[in-house]
Structure 1
Amino acid sequence: MSWIDLALFTTTFLTLFVIMDPPGTVPVFLALTSSMNRTQRIAAARQAILVALGVIVAFTLFGRYIFDFLHVSVPAFQASGGLLLLLVALDLLTGKTEDPSPSPSGVNVALVPLGTPLLAGPGAIVASMLAVENSDRSTAAWVAIGLAILAVHVCLYLAMRFAGIVRRVLGDGGVTVVTRLAGMLLAAIAVQLIADAVMAFVATA
């Protein structure tokens, strides 16, 4: 199968799957869409996936040029993404996401923070950029990277599409507990991103 680099497909898919963590998005998705009905949650899942896919593809193709043009380093990007995720985690821990009233800014949670930076976060963006940097950039390599990105997003959509089943099984009390746990896990991920960025800054100083 010369039209696809299977080794590159496998490594890229597994790397992005671990970083974007489709099963792990379920509790956060339920928390952020707690005030929505089934139809709205499905629409939110679709919007989040399209946003995440668009961001990942854009940075896969043009990320290096964007960073160079803006004079932004990868550690700085990681730190900013970590801070944004930390704010989301604090909202989950304090129960602010359970408020059904719309946000003052009118921001759709499916776009921000779900689509980005939660799904299309610094880790996933950097991983997709590195997949391109470490490949031979042949047609087979581009096909492998593209299919890997698409496959991970299909997994993400399926996880969120059927999150309503998890909600019915857990009930309102269970969802509240899962929301708090998701907040703690997300806070830990955010702190780890910031710590990694600080270590990278120190290493290059």
Structure 2
Amino acid sequence: MVFDLNLFLTTAVTLFVIVDPPGLLPVFLGLTNSFTLEQRKRAGDKASAVAFGVIALFALFGRQILDYLQVSVPAMQVSGGLLLLLIALELLMGHGEDPVLHDNVNVAIVPLGTPLMAGPGAIAASMLAVQKAPGLAGYVTVGLALVVVMFLVWLFLRFAERIRSVLREGGTVLASRIAGLLLSAIAAQMMADGIFGFIAAH
């Protein structure tokens, strides 16, 4: 088993910009506005755990799902790239919609854990990352990248108040725009890989 450093870094950066912890801060603080400090910390812990579990589940069994649905990896790459591009455009233009808070729903699970953190983009990215290094090495590499990213997300949520006071509103917006720019480039590369995969297969 060989640890793939390039795959680790690519996966970690991709997941980080998709989840966009700086962009999550105002949403997280808004949804937990009426919480005590201890309740807010527990909400951050639970949201991070839920997101990790959902993304890890699809990273492990995503290939089996694709095989069952008879969907090829290049098709997943193109569709995943389009999806990431839409998310990137929302980050760049600032058109992301605030989630609707429903009564009797734990905000740490919905909408924070999923779909904000463990959304379609993060799920697609993790599934595609595993395909790049089949076998135990791929699972371990992607798993470590996911652990690192979710730990960073947990830190952002745990110290949300302090981080926002440092970044201020302008810094938070700037961080989201930079994340959108990086994600758009990743999305374009993902779609290009998928198109070349289609050509090679035929």
Fold in common (TM above 0.5): yes
Query: Which of 114, 138, 141 is matched with 1:111 structurally?
Result: 114
The Cα of 1:43 is off from its aligned counterpart by 3.5
Shift of residue 32, structure 1, vs aligned partner: 3.7
What is the aligned partner in structure 1 of residue 188 from structure 2?
191
- The match for 2:153 is 160
Would the alpha carbon gap of residues 172 and 191 (structure 1) be closer, same or farther in structure 2, given more than 3 Å must change?
same
**Partner SS state of residue 27, structure 2:** coil
Report matched runs for 1:10-89 at 5 Å.
10-11=3-4, 15-21=7-13, 24-25=16-17, 28-37=20-29, 39=41, 40-59=43-62, 63=63, 65-89=64-88
* Structure 1 unmatched runs, 5+: 1-6, 136-141
Could you tell me which runs of 5 or more consecutive residues in structure 2 were left unpaired when the two chains were aligned: 30-39
TM-score by length of 1: 0.70
Which residue is 2:100 aligned to? 102
The offset of 1:93, in angstroms, is 2.0
Matched with 2:34 is none
SS at match of 1:195: helix
8 Å CA contact 1:20, 1:119 repeated in 2? no
In the TM superposition, what are the counterparts of 1:117-128 in structure 2 within 5 Å? 117-122=120-125, 124-128=126-130
8 A contact 1:27–1:182 mirrored in 2: no
CA shift, 1:118, in A, is 3.5
Distance 1:187 1:110, change over 3 A: farther
Pair 198,130 (structure 1): closer, same or farther in 2 beyond 3 Å? closer
1:72 aligns to what SS in structure 2? coil
Report the count of equivalent residues. Answer: 181
CA drift of 1:166 comes to 4.2
Aligned partner of 2:79: which letter?
A: S
TM-score, with structure 2 as normaliser: 0.71
**Within the alignment, does 1:182 sit opposite 2:184 as a pair?**
no
Q: Give the 3 Å change call, closer, same or farther, for CA 120–174 of structure 1 in structure 2.
A: same
Deviations 1:53-78 (A, max 9, x none): 1111223xxx1x43333221111001
Q: Using the alignment, how far apart are the partners of 2:15 and 2:81 within structure 1?
A: 20
In structure 2, distance between residues paired with 1:103 and 1:14? 39
Distance in structure 2 (CA, Å) of the matches to 1:79 and 1:23: 17
Identity of aligned residues (%): 28
Indicate if the aligned counterparts of 1:89 and 1:183 stay in contact, CA closer than 8 A. yes
- Other structure's SS at 2:26 match: coil
* C-alpha deviation, 1:82, in angstroms: 1.1
1:132-184 residue CA offsets vs partner (Å, 9 max, x unmatched): 4xx5xxxxxx5x66554443332112111122354342121100111112112
